[in-house]
Amino acid sequence: MHARDGSLKWSLVGPTLILLIAFNVFPLLYNIFLSFTNAELVGEGARNVGGANYARIFSDPIWQAALRRTALFVLCAVGVELLLGFSLALALKKDFKGKHVVLTTLLVPMMLSPAVMGLYWNFVLNGNYGILNQALSALGLGEPQWLTDRDLKFWSILLVDIWMWTPFMMLIALAGLSAIPNSIYEAAEIDRASRWQVFRHVTLPMCAPLLGLAVLFRATDALKQFDLVMATTGPNDASTQTLSTLLYQSTFREGKIGLGSAWACTVLVVVLALATVFTRYVERMRKTQEAT
Amino acid sequence: MKLLRWLVITLGFLFAALPLVWMGMSSLKHQADTINPHPKFVPSLSAVAEPESHTFEVTGEAYAGLAVLHAGAQASFWEHLWNSVIIGVLSTLASVLLGTCCAYGFSRFRIAGAKDWLFFILSTRFMPPLAVVVPVLMMYRKLDLQGTHLGLVLLYTVFNLSLAVWLMKGFLDEIPRAFEEAALVDGYSRASAFLRVVLPEARTGMAVTAVFCLISAWNEYGFAMTLNSSGAVTVPAYFAGLQGNIEGMPWPQVAAGALVFVVPIVLFTILVRDHLLRGVTFGTIKQ
């Protein structure tokens, strides 16, 4: 490399790195500082309160409930979407006429805005005039109050999430399936392996690395769940409040920036842990990809 | 087995498509037909007399109504859509420009700690918007950027950089180095070899990256709502603000607006179909 490349390469990567640091690292550090104060959204003169915000978070049942609820949401969303997405991918593996159209239609929901679609789903799920209940009652299946029943709201939001993100799992699963060479299946046929054995010992293990990546992607995303909850029940609903909406509620509706920042810091620890797992995973996958 | 396969495909297809079909249908109804306890799913061009029938009169009223100012909103749907367009397009251009340069740097030069930098860039995408928004809000208040187009353009540019860098790095890595080396031998400078030889080769990658940046800026809600509640409000924030409307939800208009809002995305999805996998996984999976 030439000596003048030195300044060229930093002028290429520099602006991006500076912007990312300015908008991510700096706010993070500032958040940590704020989390030890009693800063409020309006008014000046924040005081240092030591670890009081953190003490409050770890003893407040509302925070803990939101934490558990978010964990349940991530678990259910990722699990169901993986199962449905993988089933769809298995069904769609073989070519058929019109596959292109079917596949594209199936993929559309994940490209749409969760906030806008969440609002629209209010209309579909409405207890009185929503089309879902009209269809259910025509079939004699009753009329559940999807978005007002305390025990049901959470699952309704999950349903919308499944509608939006099953395609994501399907897309990645399809990539995994199509990467399995046909010769392996042919060899299994010669060995008279049963359908289940082929699935268990060939299909599943060969798709596993990609599915793992898909699960990590979805898990970090579902952990941030905000848009759908805001669009359906709002941020302050005791049975649907997730980490992000609780953060929003205490920071912006109640104006408690100090407390919100402390909460954000604890959420970040979780997110960063997941992100580290994720990046390690990607790195390992790249290495094995390069090796083959 | 074959039956099961078709059952799965059919159910999946209906689950994905029916809500969108219903959205299209609802956008062509009168308000009263959308909240009627009898489902209306048979379109008709003439007025319908019996309220219990399943027929509804097709009307373009909802689309005309998109120009109307609703209670609690500051502007009509079209003005909010315009905000979304400006912010989406400008931030996309900036992200792709910066991201391509940065990716080229990482792709072709030896940079100290390159791997760590790249993973730092990727990890910024995992940050929940709500966790960084307060300091950004305070900074924007000082700089008078709150509620402006520029403020969100800047934020979305940064937000999409991780996507742009990772996608572009994948595309640039696939362009043989021999191209530039030949150009360097021909007397091009490094910079002009990048501009005149590499960039034309990378144009598909740049177009694909642009589409994904645009979609992600177009759909973003968390930052849009917290930073721009008073000016330059984008469509997702505007729609969310309609909730709890005292006039009752104008469902046909919500459906019409949502449809207008998602049609470009659907078209773009079809356009980048072959690169979809790459786009949604930040280029970590290539086909």
- What value of ipTM does the predicted structure carry? 0.87
A65-74, A186-195, A252-261, A264-273: range with highest mean pLDDT: A65-74
Do B89 and B209 lie in one domain? The reply is yes
> Is A117 near chain B, with CB under 8 Å?
yes
Judge if B48 and B88 occupy the same domain.
no
- Tell me, yes or no, whether A140 lies in a domain: yes
CATH of the domain at A186: 1.10.3720.10
Q: What DSSP string runs through B89-116? A: HHHHHHHHHHHHHHHHHHHHS--TTHHH
Q: Is residue A33 part of a domain?
A: no
Query: For residue A3, what pLDDT is reported?
Result: 46
Within a 10 A sphere around the Cβ of B241, how many other Cβ atoms? 18
Q: From the CA of B100, how many Å to the nearest CA of chain A? A: 9
Q: Do A104 and B273 touch (CB under 8 A)?
A: yes
Comparing alpha-carbon positions, the chain B residue that sits nearest to A219 is: B126
Q: Is A119 at the interface with chain B, CB within 8 A?
A: yes
In a domain, B188, yes or no: yes
Residues B14 and B92 in one domain: no
B286 lies in some domain? no
B125 with B36, same domain: the answer is no
Domain that holds residue B24: 2-59
Question: How many domains does chain A divide into?
Answer: 1
Tell me the chain A residues in contact with residue B163 when contact means C-beta distances shorter than 8 Å.
none
B92 lies in the same domain as B189: yes
Q: Is residue A105 part of a domain?
A: yes
Question: Does A24 map to a domain?
Answer: no
Contact status of A180 with chain B (Cβ, < 8 Å): no
Domain contains A80: yes
Do residue B151 and residue B26 come from a single domain? no
- Interface check for A207 against chain B (CB to CB < 8 A): the answer is no
Q: Which pLDDT tens digit goes with each residue over A107-137?
A: 889 888 999 998 889 888 887 888 888 888 8
- Give me chain A's average pLDDT, please: 85
pLDDT at A163 over 90: yes
Q: What is the pLDDT of residue A5?
A: 66
> pLDDT digits over A49-101, tens only?
878 888 888 888 888 888 889 999 999 999 999 999 999 999 988 888 888 88
B23 and B164 in a single domain? The answer is no
Q: Look at B39 and A15 and tell me if their CB atoms are within 8 Å.
A: no
Which residue of A lies nearest to B122 if distances are taken between CA atoms?
Answer: A279
Identify the CATH number of the domain in which residue B156 sits: 1.10.3720.10
Contact state of A122 with B243 under an 8 Å Cβ cutoff:
yes
Tell me whether residues A175 and B277 touch, CB distance under 8 A. yes
Q: Using the predicted structure, report yes or no on whether residue A187 has a pLDDT greater than 70.
A: yes
B101, closest residue in chain A (CA to CA): A12
Q: Spell out the per-residue pLDDT of chain B, length 287, in tens.
A: 788 888 999 999 999 999 999 998 888 888 777 777 777 777 777 777 777 777 788 788 878 877 777 766 678 889 889 999 999 999 999 999 999 999 998 888 888 888 888 888 888 888 888 878 888 888 888 888 888 899 899 999 999 999 999 999 989 988 888 888 888 888 888 888 888 888 888 888 899 999 999 999 999 998 888 887 778 888 888 888 777 665 678 888 888 989 999 999 889 888 888 888 888 888 777 76
Binned at pLDDT 50, 70 and 90, residue A6 comes out as: confident
Residue B221 lies in a domain: yes
Is position B64 within any domain?
A: no
Looking at CA atoms only, how far is residue B105 from chain A in angstroms? 5
Using a CB–CB cutoff of 8 Å, tell me whether A88 touches chain B. yes
A20/B126 CB distance under 8 A: no
pLDDT at B94: 95
Residue in chain A nearest B116 by alpha carbon: A279
pLDDT tens column, A138-161: 888 878 888 888 888 899 999 999
Question: Residue A16 falls within a domain, yes or no?
Answer: no
In total, how many domains does chain B have? 2
Q: Using an 8 Å CB-CB cutoff, list chain B residues near A13.
A: 101-102, 105-106, 111, 117
Domain contains A81: yes
Q: Say yes or no: B136 and B52 in one domain.
A: no
Same domain flag for B30 and B117:
no
**Does position A282 have pLDDT exceeding 80, yes or no?**
no
For helices B149-173 and B129-143, give the axis angle rounded to 10 degrees: 130
How far apart are the CA of A213 and the nearest CA of chain B, in angstroms? Answer: 9
Q: How far is B270 from chain A (nearest CA, A)?
A: 7
- Looking at the fold, whether B116 and B239 belong to one and the same domain comes out as yes
Closest-CA residue to B91 (of B270, B234, B200): B234
Q: How far is residue B217's CA from residue B161's CA, in Å, rounded to a whole number?
A: 11
My answer on whether B23 and B90 are in the same domain is: no
B123, part of any domain: yes
Test A279 with B240 for CB contact under 8 angstroms: no
Whether A1 is in a domain gets the answer: no
Q: How many CB atoms lie within 10 A of CB B62?
A: 23
- Cβ <8 Å between B123 and A279: yes
Domain range holding A85? 45-291
In chain B, which residue's Cα lies nearest the Cα of A172? Answer: B277
Closest partner CB to B130 (pick from A109, A214, A244): A244
A208 in B contact zone (CB under 8 Å): no
Question: Per the CB < 8 Å rule, is A279 touching B122?
Answer: yes
Is A4 a residue whose pLDDT tops 60?
A: no
Task: Decide which of A89 and A272 is more confident.
Answer: A89
Distance from CA of B226 to the nearest CA of A (A): 8
B193 and B276 co-located in one domain: yes
Exposure string of A266-284, with b = 16+ CB inside 10 Å and e = fewer, is: bbbebbeebbeebbebbee
